[in-house]
Structure 1
Amino acid sequence: MDRFDALSAFVAVADQRGFAAAARKLGMSPPAVTRAVAALERHLGVTLFHRSTRAVSLTDEGAAFLDRARRIMSDLREAEQIVMGGRSAPRGRLYVTAPVMFGRLHVLPAIGALLAAHDGLSARMMLIDRNVRIVEEGIDVAVRIGPLADSALRVMSIGSVRQTIVASPAYLAAHGVPATPADLAGHRCIVGSGIRIGAAWRFGGKAESTVEVAPRLAVNTIDGTIAAAEAGVGVANVLSYQAAEAVAAGRLVRLLEDHAPPPVPVSLLYDAGRAAMPAVRLFLEAMRERARQGSWD
């Protein structure tokens, strides 16, 4: 039994929740996938899947083994890429995750430039406003905005962003300009997603004060939050880069800048072993260079 093929078959069946679907994904025949998983079960001495005519599900042993199997496969692919990439130009696939708007505005241009310069390189971007498991998902680099939890991953700081309270000129003309954070209690407020989620808005150099706002509108995307603020629905609490274009164009006005809490760090997270991959090294340097050219506003 080829151990790597067996692990690939096991992970595919777990992901696809079926042997036939896993076979299609792997380009194998269903009997071949079934035999590979059965051989792995015999080798381990455990049953990895509950099988029925209607469904396939992991046993407790299978669930415990799945994360380890993913890590083994990821490590092997990484070793292959390091060896292959070490003697050639960047090649293979670069996998990056980032918050949706930051990824669109600042990560996509960096990746686009890398793809234009290196024909053997491809990329996958997961733009999502929540943290995902980097190692388990096989991600090369994650862009994170906000404080970081302790982990074994390497961290590269590439600057910071600021809290920005914004509203449209039309809204301010109709409802007045808040002079202090406490004034927001009398304003129509828009609450959104990401790290600015919720109705408790923090202010002050050490975030020592919190204002509970009354949401007039709740939106689950930053684009929607910005659009609502531009339309005059109310006051929004976003990050500097998210409102930068609208502020520069005069569609939004920054408020209460003297009361902003400390800046929020922007970081790149990656596994130490992946730093040797040419594509990862180039991406890290590209993002660091973009940070050198100016703030993320």
Structure 2
Amino acid sequence: MLRTFVAVADHASFAEAARRLRISPTATSRAVAALEASLGTMLVRRTTRSVRMTAEGAAYLERCRAALADLDEAALTLRGEAATPGGTLVVTAPVTFGRLHIVPIVTALLRAHSTLRVELTLVDRVVRLVDEGIDVAVRIGDLSDSALYALKVAEVRRVLVASPVYLKLHPGPANVAGLHDHSLISFNELDRAREWRFGPSGKPAIRVEPRLTVNAADAAISAAVDGLGIAHVLSYQALDAISSGQLVTLLDDFAPPAIPVHLVYQANRRTSVNVRAFNDAARLHFGRLDLTGGSVVASG
């Protein structure tokens, strides 16, 4: 019943939960109803168009996830399979970072472990691990949630990039103030305050008035490659264009501190064989790379 309830919560649908669990919608509805009856409280509000958790259901959901994770781990240990990944691993990461780096890690894991399944969600927002049933999340930036365990796997940095064509027509700025004389391209996720920061302490910070503002890093990089102006992005996002010579970095001497990349997970997932396998694969992957804009280290 607990797994059925969690599946209904995850998919906000009895029909979709039934499909994922390979049981009938009727059996799914009956399982949740039986759970509610045993607890003496309503967990789910049902309408013809939606399924929503009640306040009691949302609180109970968190406990269910933790209990099921512990039960799965105990079952693996009892069967002598604690060293072998299996079952479902749920991972989330930023869109571009996930496409470039997490997909290859997941692919390698799936090739190595035939009983493992992975649900990978790529989204440019901070995901709440407990609320959304996430095992591992990739976080780029300083961490504020001390309740989570974190493993640092890489560093990136904020970079200014422009195309050689643009710089031929508009010589690059000699200092930070010189940016005001250029056409600027802003990436929303990085520039929400419309400030670009520089220096070892993040100062000075200058207010910018970009000619182009986009909500996707790929769009900012494409515009810079096409010669529109100077883009402010993260180094890993522009790494291919920098390596190929389509873009060059500017004002590197004024660069702010590097930004850490962590894998974060809940305390109750610390001993999970699936999480350990993902962490090990990530260490191997990122150990071969320099995502700050330097050279790529050849694998052995």
Q: TM-score range by the shorter chain?
A: 0.7 to 0.9
The answer to whether the aligner puts 1:146 opposite 2:116 as a matched pair is no
> How far apart, CA to CA, are the structure 1 residues paired with 2:63 and 2:197?
41
RMSD: 2.6
**SS of 1:106's equivalent?**
helix
- Deviation, 1:21, is 5.0
| Consecutive unaligned residues in structure 2, runs of 5 or more | 294-300
What is the CA-CA distance between 1:267 and the residue it aligns to?
Answer: 1.1
- How many angstroms apart in 2 are the aligned matches of 1:164 and 1:287? 24
Question: Is 1:250 aligned to 2:280, yes or no?
Answer: no
Q: In the alignment, is the contact (CA less than 8 A) between 1:85 and 1:278 conserved in 2? A: no
Q: Give the Å deviation of 1:92.
A: 2.5
Deviations 1:14-38 (A, max 9, x none): 4555545544444334443333333
Gaps of 5+ in 1: none
Q: Secondary structure at the match of 2:128?
A: coil
The correspondence for 2:33, drawn from 27, 30, 38, is: 38
Structure 2 distance, partners of 1:21, 1:283, is 27
Question: Is the deviation greater in 106-115 or in 183-192?
Answer: 106-115
CA distance in 2, matches of 1:126, 1:31: 29
User: Which of 48, 61, 64 is the equivalent residue of 1:66?
Assistant: 61
1:282 equivalent in alignment to 2:289 = no
- After TM superposition, the structure 1 stretch with the greater mean CA deviation from structure 2, 27-36 or 150-159, is 27-36
Letter in 2 for 1:291: F
- Alpha-carbon spacing, 1:256–1:85, altered in 2? closer, same or farther (3 Å): farther
* Aligned residue number for residue 261 of structure 1: 256
Give the TM-score, by structure 2 length: 0.85
Identify the residue that residue 293 of structure 1 maps to in structure 2.
288
SS of equivalent to 2:211: strand
2:91 corresponds to which of 74, 81, 96: 96
**Alpha-carbon shift at residue 130 of structure 1 (Å):** 1.6
Q: Which amino acid aligns with 2:157?
A: R
Q: Distance in 2 between matches of 1:283 and 1:188?
A: 42
* Structure 1 Cα separation of the partners of residues 167 and 42 of structure 2: 65
Percent pairwise identity: 49
2:152 corresponds to 1:157:
yes
Q: Which structure 2 residues correspond to residues 61-140 of structure 1 after superposition, within 5 A?
A: 61-81=56-76, 83-84=78-79, 86-87=81-82, 89-140=84-135
Aligned-residue offset at 1:222: 0.9
Query: What CA distance in whole angstroms lies between the structure 2 residues aligned with 1:15 and 1:110?
Result: 24
